Structure 1
């Protein structure tokens, strides 16, 4: 089902307007499909690129001969002999090598296209596959990137600019003076061939184009079910839950990190941002043990089951005789509040055992909407049968600590998590929480932070080169980035 959405444009909200932020693509390229290609654009293309398009069958011998003569006269390549059909074939094959074998494949493909598609369909294929620089393919993608507009909203000058850079987008984008020269040349050509009026030609030449460079991102199809609110199949458009400002923060956080990171943000039970060093679907489909990030849930369950906040438990050894690793020993005995603050494993094992560990396991299964068989006694330490995704972890925190679900034990828990936030990150945000989790051998690190209205889950993956013990550099990086975020977004505080 999701594969059928490849090429759909994903929109998100920016205040009261919509902004295209991505294209559904399992490739690294953004290729936005369009059922609408302006007829005038097709006429312009034929005039500029292949005047005999409607006469040949994919290969234009006269065009090739003419280009050879002109190039010979000039002493350099000034004309190409490729037809529009050959250019479509090249874009579909994605092979730009200057070899005889590539040219042969391109020629065969062009003839096949002519046999299987009408001329109008070939023009549609051209505009949906043509390369526009960077990781952009298709004229719809280019319009959204360079001008922030859908095709039907582009004016004549903007359409002409996109035709201008077709022959060498990377070349013309780096040389605006050359792009301007070709733009004027094409406008004059269209006027001389009576495809546009004198008045339109003058307006084109006088036009001052405003470029947006709206960053588009290829979003893998596996991510789509988690972020989509509305689907418009006619316009091949998806309306998402993504908040453009939070998404921008998340993307920069990952791209600027010296560690491989994944991040997701959930606001009011909806995904508003996500990014990962390992692909946009990673926060949703990758599952692993999550360490001590499950302790806040257990704290509330144990408190609600009658465990006193001040009752002390052995912090060095446990009743199950498990050999567990601790970050450090602060006291031989800790109460539940201290154990949550210090992430002491032994205390939680001992408290859960006293209360019947099966109750804690059933509670965790309910929190994550899983069958109880997927949880073990070791789930007290964050281990599960199938693992937990970053999305599931963030969703659980967002729902569990939502304002409407706050009980006395959860408020109590949040006070402790707020102290962890302040002490670990080094700055104060009223009522913000933080809980970290470390899995075996310090290979993956988790941090859940934010508040019940806006919850972030961050995963630092293994990176042997920059690996530091426990949280070290990871916490510094989170502190540096989130201190800026919370100062900018003061409206995300909760009471």
Structure 2
């Protein structure tokens, strides 16, 4: 996506309600940007934090003089005397150390801010950059996190709540009595200065605030193209294709895994959930060899090109004279159905050799929508020149096995993958499929599973020393989480 989306809020729709998921951020900070900051909130802030804001040039000499006297007396920083511009500078610098060097940097930055921006612009910058605890930066993010509301939907008491916690978000949110004392103090000051009415003051005091603490994630910009329905630039908002339940499941799957893991879910070709131990962009930009997960496509091509179901191929050696690793040996000769069930490499190489390697490589090139130059003979076993991303793999399955374009050979292939589903997961679901693959000496383990509507692609990275079997606890991990999303649909059975 060409436009700058940093700070946009990502939403999904759940039961016709828009639910905030997180923000576009290329770093650790969860920071949403808002073009709208209520004027009354700006007035409240000036009265509470910096009464002479409109008179000074970044530093309040009277406030600083008082602070310097107290700090010299104590021999350390005990008072700040910071203006709004200085507080903004501190949040931009991201330095909260209590020493004179930090104070000097903060003051110098405040002077720069005052030269570059108007007072109103400074207040906008302040509310877009100030820290609200829990890795939440900016008023908009705080409103979404604490109240599950956009800025323009926040009540006055909710705005004052956010003002109350400004000086120490984690401190005030964890100490209800201390919070109440400061909240009431701020209300009293605003009433005394006639910034709120008496009735409003009384309502604020009696108000029972409901804190939601809505989880918000950081979405790297490289993932945005893949999940966007439309972008509202005016409100800096992205409506995504994400399904809330699926996204939560994906995040839990990653959080609960003892190994680094990535997962992505597609429904009818659209991304509805994804997560990774390596960041939200990983399923889309990280590419590697995908092992035996390409064999179902090759199976269909072999059948289309005349390989019979009864025809058998050597499973111990291949015509290319390659030494390939096999999980175990079953019979000296296998049909391609048996080769797919057992994931036998030699039999597949021999079958593709009969049809022609180039025919299969061109077929894979079309399925994965990649240049023919990306593929070479070992692509039959899942290797490509530039690798395949988890998203690419999931999309290929979702598109190729689309119920609206099933052929007899695809249906036949799916029935074999259904057998694999049952044999590995122990669950009989008539319309579900599964294919696994391992690469890099078992350090990368893939699983592609799905049904008529839904496809999951999972990649687990690990050290084989910790889990020496071919699939180890991988299938147990999948069965604990992902299988809850599959329903036994008797109206769609692969035969």
Change (3 A) 1:98 1:177: same
Shift in Å, 1:466: 3.1
**How many correspondences in the alignment?**
493
Structure 1 length-normalised TM = 0.96
Shift in Å, 1:479: 1.5
Change (3 A) 1:181 1:75: farther
Report which stretch shifted further, 279-288 or 420-429: 420-429
Report which stretch shifted further, 65-74 or 45-54: 65-74
Equivalent residue, structure 1, for 2:291? 291
1:62-77 equivalences in 2 (<5 Å) = 62-67=62-67
Q: CA separation in 2, counterparts of 1:143 and 1:491?
A: 42
Equivalent residue, structure 1, for 2:201? 201
Shift in Å, 1:76: 11
Change (3 A) 1:17 1:236: same
Q: CA separation in 1, counterparts of 2:197 and 2:464?
A: 64
Report which stretch shifted further, 2-11 or 160-169: 2-11
Equivalent residue, structure 1, for 2:165? 165
- Secondary structure at the aligned position of 2:53 is classed as coil
Equivalent residue, structure 2, for 1:310? 310
Shift in Å, 1:357: 1.4
Equivalent residue, structure 1, for 2:123? 123
* Per-residue deviation, residues 43-71 of structure 1 (Å, max 9, x unmatched): 00001111111111111121233456789
Query: Is 2:44 aligned against 1:5?
Result: no
- Secondary structure at the aligned position of 1:42 is classed as helix
Q: CA separation in 2, counterparts of 1:464 and 1:166?
A: 48
Q: CA separation in 2, counterparts of 1:73 and 1:106?
A: 21
Equivalent residue, structure 1, for 2:394? 394
Equivalent residue, structure 2, for 1:105? 105
- Secondary structure at the aligned position of 1:101 is classed as helix
Query: Is 2:239 aligned against 1:233?
Result: no
Change (3 A) 1:28 1:255: same
- Secondary structure at the aligned position of 1:379 is classed as helix
* Per-residue deviation, residues 191-247 of structure 1 (Å, max 9, x unmatched): 111100010011011111112211111111111111111111111111111111100
Shift in Å, 1:493: 8.8
Change (3 A) 1:14 1:70: farther
- Secondary structure at the aligned position of 2:23 is classed as strand
Change (3 A) 1:78 1:185: farther
- Secondary structure at the aligned position of 2:241 is classed as strand
Shift in Å, 1:482: 2.1
Q: CA separation in 1, counterparts of 2:54 and 2:67?
A: 19
- Secondary structure at the aligned position of 2:274 is classed as strand
Q: CA separation in 2, counterparts of 1:465 and 1:19?
A: 42
* Per-residue deviation, residues 162-188 of structure 1 (Å, max 9, x unmatched): 111111111112222322221111111
In 2, are the aligned partners of 1:292 and 1:381 still within 8 Å (CA)?
yes
In 1, are the aligned partners of 2:76 and 2:99 still within 8 Å (CA)?
no
Equivalent residue, structure 2, for 1:258? 258
Change (3 A) 1:374 1:76: closer
Equivalent residue, structure 2, for 1:150? 150
Shift in Å, 1:21: 0.3
Q: CA separation in 2, counterparts of 1:76 and 1:196?
A: 38
In 1, are the aligned partners of 2:249 and 2:482 still within 8 Å (CA)?
no
1:24-35 equivalences in 2 (<5 Å) = 24-35=24-35
Q: CA separation in 1, counterparts of 2:76 and 2:206?
A: 32
1:268-417 equivalences in 2 (<5 Å) = 268-417=268-417
Shift in Å, 1:467: 3.5
Query: Is 2:443 aligned against 1:443?
Result: yes
Query: Is 2:16 aligned against 1:41?
Result: no
Report which stretch shifted further, 458-467 or 324-333: 458-467
In 2, are the aligned partners of 1:265 and 1:457 still within 8 Å (CA)?
yes
Change (3 A) 1:402 1:291: same
* Per-residue deviation, residues 332-382 of structure 1 (Å, max 9, x unmatched): 111111111110001110111111111111100000111111111111000
Equivalent residue, structure 1, for 2:457? 457
Shift in Å, 1:317: 0.6
In 2, are the aligned partners of 1:227 and 1:241 still within 8 Å (CA)?
yes
Shift in Å, 1:483: 3.3
In 1, are the aligned partners of 2:95 and 2:102 still within 8 Å (CA)?
yes
Gaps of 5+ in 1: none
Aligned structure 1 segments of 4 or more residues deviating by more than 6 angstroms = 68-78, 489-493
